[in-house]
Chain A
Amino acid sequence: MLPQIDVFGRPFSMYAIFCVLGIALAILIGTSRSKIIGIQKNDVLYAMLLSVVGLLVGGKILYIVSVIPVLWEYRQMISEHPAILKALFNGGFVFFGAVFGAVGVVYLYCKKYKLKLLPMLDTVAPGIPIAHAFGRLGCLSAGCCYGCSYNGPLALTFPEGCAAPAGTALFPIQPFESVLNIILFIALMLLGRRKRRDGLLFGSYLLFYSIIRFVLEFFRGDAERGILFGFSLSQWISLLLLPLAVYIAFIYHPKNCGPSDDHSQ
């Protein structure tokens, strides 16, 4: 819709601006929740800032994994024109990869400074869907991650210059996913108003987002998402995450960790 804006004659990607705004908001929400969980505000701030590194690296690695079939299919063309490879790697990020990368960095942070992982993830959890909601608005402005052909109400038609096919009515998947993420954020904030058992918030986020993502992937129209046996890479990850999410949210119960435990050092 609006891939970039000009500020003093210099183009800036709306996708990147939305992503940065979303991450900033997530960090603010995470630090404001530190008191409820009982972790020091500084620890949450540092862990979330460092998790941005994991987010970038993880999102990019999974993106590269998702384009391996394309690289293989066009290997002959790529070997003749190496510039294509650069263009392919200049692509974006895959959300699940970003989540895994960020969680990995938070795990390393907690391990290094002897903090408990699940309370930290519970503190961070409501911030993830709000950052993602902003990210999807970025996708809407760039025209990427678009929906399938659709002629019903609220159909989107992208102009020339966006990543989506121009002039075709498409399912409004980006705003739809953004709204669902905001609903998930509100639900998690309500659930996390007081201290719950460790892992409930993060597990609930994983559970509900996996279901949402699995269903929404059927309405996606962008071809290159690493399709394997009829499901996309994100759908396979969603399926694998479901039992893990249920285990974290409802079954796993660490010893000596009551509701009043102080998790700060």
Chain B
Amino acid sequence: MKKNRSLENAIAAIPSGAVIMVGGFGNPGTPFSLIRELVRQGQTDLTLIKNDANEAGHGVSQLIENGQVKKLITTHIGLNKGVIDRMNQGEVEVQFHPQGMLAEKIRTAGAGSFGFLTDIGIDSEITRPEDLLDWQGKTYKVEMALSADFALLHAARADWLGNLVYQGSAINFSPLMAMAANHVIVETPHLGAPGCFIPEQVHTPGAFVDSVVPLASLTSDYGILEHHVRR
């Protein structure tokens, strides 16, 4: 079955109030085109799960700046002072997780399990007494799996069946989120016919993907951010 969708149709599946995982670590892997369409359609009360808040004016920061986001589940927003200010003013609720814990919570949901035991952050203020489990003489922290209604992802290449290949440092959370969300929407600038990939090199098998949105070209937000270039 072909999973190709138009940008408008793919994003129209998302209702207000949805919980949405968004791929990307900084810019690489951020599905800028899917996000812009979500800004245009204007769904509200969203909960976003993303490693970071992108940077001012870019990616998920546009959704936050546009008042569409109720809660952000993330690891680090140090490169987005505007979102830190909104958090301090109570305009958006921000929940921080250790980065590998966020990844593992998503991976766990994607594997159909419910949680795991860890010692990360066990001595810190992010751990509540009710998170602790004494088991066979040792104390662990229980981390529960984290799933979502939707995942919005960027793939370097995809085929009609939803097989995905990522590139560079744009892999990050995307293959994990593809497995953990109930409805997975992927944008790609290179959509091919089945058979265009070497099977061993597929990062995300098509079974996890619901919609593939072909992009005619990559806009400037996918390009080099000048202020990160060392002169």
Q: Do A and B come from one complex?
A: no
What is the interface of chain A, defined by CB distance below 8 A to chain B?
none
B residues at A contact (CB < 8 Å):
none
